[in-house]
Amino acid sequence: MKNIVISTGGSGGHVKPAIALYEYLEKDNKVFITTDKRGLMYLKNYYSKYKIINLTKLNFNFFKIIQFVGSFIYSLIQSIFFLSQKKINIVISTGGYMSLPVCIAAKIVNIKIYLLEPNQVLGRSNLFFLKHCEKILTYEEDIKNFPKKLKQKIVKLRPLMKKDIFNIKNNVNKRKKFSILIIGGSQAALKFDELFNEALTKLSKEHDIFIYHQTSKDNENNLKNFYIKHGIDHEVFFFKENLYEIFINCNFAITRAGASTINELVFLRVPFLAIPFPYAKDDHQFFNAEYYFKKNMCWLKREKEINSEILYDFLGNLIKNKNFIDEKKRNMIEFNKLNFWDHNLKILKKTIE
């Protein structure tokens, strides 16, 4: 048995794979998660197993830099104390700037570091620690921005997902209406949401549709009022811990392209249109979606390529021609033939031991 810390940032893109890793490793090891305050809403079921280590985000302003340096020194001391107190053998980082103090602390006290890169582009913090890690876990061997001379450090997994997902019956839409899931995410969700208003209003007058819509907390009430005003059946929400439980009720999804979200959509056979967040670092969301687009499992459009008329025509065509969705589903079924859980568990045990 080993004592393991999984270091993660506070966004869903970092915390979700950290939770999945926790579930893979907890049976044979003592596992803790470190995150910042943003990650709390994802970790309420792990309250005794996580540690909050906050780090002020770096801003290139003189006073903010001073604040960052002070925050970094404090979080580094916290990390060293925590790793020593818990007698940690291994640190696994899922990336993000929040991983810096924990990984540097691990280096200082001579603890082995492993990295996880869930995206199709190597993150900057993972690149920073790549030379100092034992191995890096990825979902593909051909990761963009990855140094060729360090390719031997890659250990390829299938996408990591919570164990509950593997017990869900693949999607059988319980509603008679055509159900569409819209996942706006937390970044610039308002602009993303407004892309659909006119198209959905027009579409609802011609077809029986039901809309599930995940949005930012600030825009939740506005969206509810919009759907009520136009008589569109809906469920609007800011956060659901197990969003994948809604996936199985959906015929189709429109989403940003965070790795965890689109991996779960593919596993649960929900065809989707990916509209990547245009300001994601290194355009990683585009490349996440492009991976599945090339395998003919989804549609992919840049935000600037989308308007109400295009969306209306696209969605109307999908509703009328189910063959387009069925084709994507068949490709997802083929992709998912391998038993992800057992496959990943075997590789993780071998890698860490």
Instruction: Report the candidate in 278, 280, 242, 238 with the shortest Cα–Cα distance to residue 261.
Output: 242
Flag whether pLDDT at 187 surpasses 90. Answer: no
Q: What is the pLDDT of residues 106-127, one digit of tens each?
A: 999 999 999 999 999 999 999 9
Using a 10 angstrom Cβ sphere, with 0-12 exposed, 13-18 middle and 19 or more buried, the burial of residue 266 is: buried
Flag whether pLDDT at 169 surpasses 80. Answer: no
- pLDDT band (50, 70, 90) for residue 61: confident
- pLDDT band (50, 70, 90) for residue 47: low
pLDDT score at 130: 96
**The 209-214 sheet, strands edge to edge:** 233-237, 209-214, 178-183, 252-255, 272-274, 298-300
**Cα of 209 vs its chain's centroid, Å:** 27
In whole angstroms, give the CA distance from residue 121 to residue 137.
13
Mean pLDDT across 167-181: 74
| Residue 92 near residue 5 (C-beta atoms within 8 A) | yes
Q: In the block, which residue shows the tokens 């250990």?
A: 155
Flag whether pLDDT at 327 surpasses 80. Answer: yes
In whole angstroms, give the CA distance from residue 165 to residue 174.
18
| Residue 34 near residue 43 (C-beta atoms within 8 A) | no
Mean pLDDT across 95-112: 94
Mean pLDDT across 306-318: 94
Q: What is the pLDDT of residues 210-266, one digit of tens each?
A: 999 999 888 899 999 999 999 999 999 988 888 888 998 999 999 999 999 999 999
Domains of the chain and CATH, by start: 3-158+339-352 (3.40.50.2000), 166-335 (3.40.50.2000)
Q: In the block, which residue shows the tokens 């056979």?
A: 269
- Residue 351, CA distances (Å) to 142, 152, 156, 223 in order: 19, 13, 11, 46
Instruction: Report the candidate in 309, 263, 302 with the shortest Cα–Cα distance to residue 283.
Output: 302
Task: Encode 253-262: b = buried (16+ Cβ within 10 Å), e = exposed.
Answer: bbbbbbbbbb
| Residue 78 near residue 53 (C-beta atoms within 8 A) | yes
pLDDT score at 170: 58
Q: What is the pLDDT of residues 19-45, one digit of tens each?
A: 999 999 999 999 999 998 888 888 877
| Residue 129 near residue 104 (C-beta atoms within 8 A) | no
DSSP assignment letter at 279: T
**Cα of 267 vs its chain's centroid, Å:** 14
Helix pair 259-267, 284-293: axis angle to 10 deg: 20
pTM over 0.85: yes
Q: In the block, which residue shows the tokens 């469920």?
A: 235
In whole angstroms, give the CA distance from residue 191 to residue 184.
9
H or E element at residue 65: helix 62-85
pLDDT score at 296: 97
Mean pLDDT across 319-334: 95
Instruction: Name the amino acid, one letter, at 271.
Output: P
Highest mean pLDDT out of 41-45, 96-100, 177-181, 193-197: 177-181
In whole angstroms, give the CA distance from residue 96 to residue 125.
6
| Cβ count within 10 A of residue 237 | 16
Instruction: Name the amino acid, one letter, at 155.
Output: V
Q: What percent of the chain has pLDDT over 70?
A: 95
Length of the chain measured in residues: 353
Flag whether pLDDT at 5 surpasses 70. Answer: yes
Number of H helices, E strands in the chain: 13, 13
Mean pLDDT across 282-306: 96
Flag whether pLDDT at 299 surpasses 60. Answer: yes
H or E element at residue 313: helix 308-320
Q: What is the pLDDT of residues 123-146, one digit of tens each?
A: 999 999 999 999 999 999 999 999
In whole angstroms, give the CA distance from residue 160 to residue 221.
33
